Amino acid sequence: MRFGGPEVLGVHHLPDPRPGAGEARIHVRAAAVNPTDISRRTGLLGVGDGSPPYIPGAEAAAVIDAVGAGSRWQIGDAVMAMAIPMSEHGGAYAEYLVAPDDSIARIPANTSFEQASTLPMNGLTAAQTLELMSLRPGQSIAVTGAAGMVGNYLVQLAKMQRLIVIADAAPKDVALVRSLGPDHVIDRGDDLAARIRAAFPGGVDAVADTALLHEKVVPALCDGGVFVSLRRWKGKPTRNIRYEATWVYDDYHSSAKLDSLRRAAEEGVLTPRVADVLPAEKAADAHRRVEAGGVRGRIVLTF
């Protein structure tokens, strides 16, 4: 009902939403907890079009239990969807969520609801990052924060596109990051750019900065390289470097892209990671753990 610390999260009983034309209502089974959910809870990202109670959460896996006129989905379909908190339909931390048909895709075969719930926002963010870069096979990309969920998917999708991938890792995460298949694993830290340059003296073609290192990693780029930020940060316009920023909600109506992530997961290209599963009423505990840092994979809330 108000913004603040984890303690403001609570259970609220609301009327069941009704799907309109071209929409489906999904009975949420699992909702992933992401760092952006913290920013929603604290009010950092504003109120948007929403009104109390504000419902966080940007990705869910669910079963369709009602459809509007003309919907292409069937009751009983197991699906995953991205949600936009502070919007007309609200966020994913809800037992029932109404979603446009084109924001939904089937969950990957042989994947649990908990695993599938980590794919929509994180996977679409990674895919959008690579689209903004427009790299050719054989070009190089450095991924900061490779042990995180978006970094996880970025490394794997970049390899699928036949790019040369440089990933950073803390000592405790080296085995995890190597398992994703990058060409080079480099120690993380503030001097990451210098270590990348030591391996690539001319600089890399692109940097995907999921660790939010910003200006600290820009020197790793070659002249004319591209830097993609997750938080709309842009550096100084030097050396013809192109700065781009992801805004995953631009892909809200991108069910075809979401379905391509489903196929990648079924083919073993993408490996969803679940750090823990908690009942939805323990959302505050999940937020405390995410804020504390060090979580590998996503904590998932179940309904």
Q: What is the pLDDT of residues 102-120, one digit of tens each?
A: 999 999 999 999 999 999 9
Measure the CA–CA gap between 261 and 82, rounded to whole angstroms. 13
Q: How far is CA 140 from CA 86, 149, 158, 270, in A?
A: 37, 20, 9, 20
pLDDT confidence tier of residue 171, bands split at 50, 70 and 90: very high
Measure the CA–CA gap between 63 and 54, rounded to whole angstroms. 23
> Which of 231, 233, 269, 218 lies closest to 125 in space, CA to CA?
231
Q: Is the pLDDT of residue 231 over 90?
A: no
Instruction: Report pLDDT for 46.
Output: 79
Q: Is the pLDDT of residue 48 over 80?
A: no
Residue type, 269: V
Instruction: Report pLDDT for 247.
Output: 95
Instruction: Report pLDDT for 50.
Output: 72
Measure the CA–CA gap between 261 and 271, rounded to whole angstroms. 11
Measure the CA–CA gap between 253 and 30, rounded to whole angstroms. 21
pTM recorded for the entire structure = 0.95
Instruction: Report pLDDT for 10.
Output: 95
181 C-beta neighbours (distance < 10 Å), count: 15
Measure the CA–CA gap between 149 and 136, rounded to whole angstroms. 24
> Which of 96, 112, 107 lies closest to 298 in space, CA to CA?
112
Radius of gyration of the chain from Cα atoms? 19
| 93-101 mean pLDDT | 97
Q: Kindly report the average pLDDT of the chain as a whole number.
A: 96
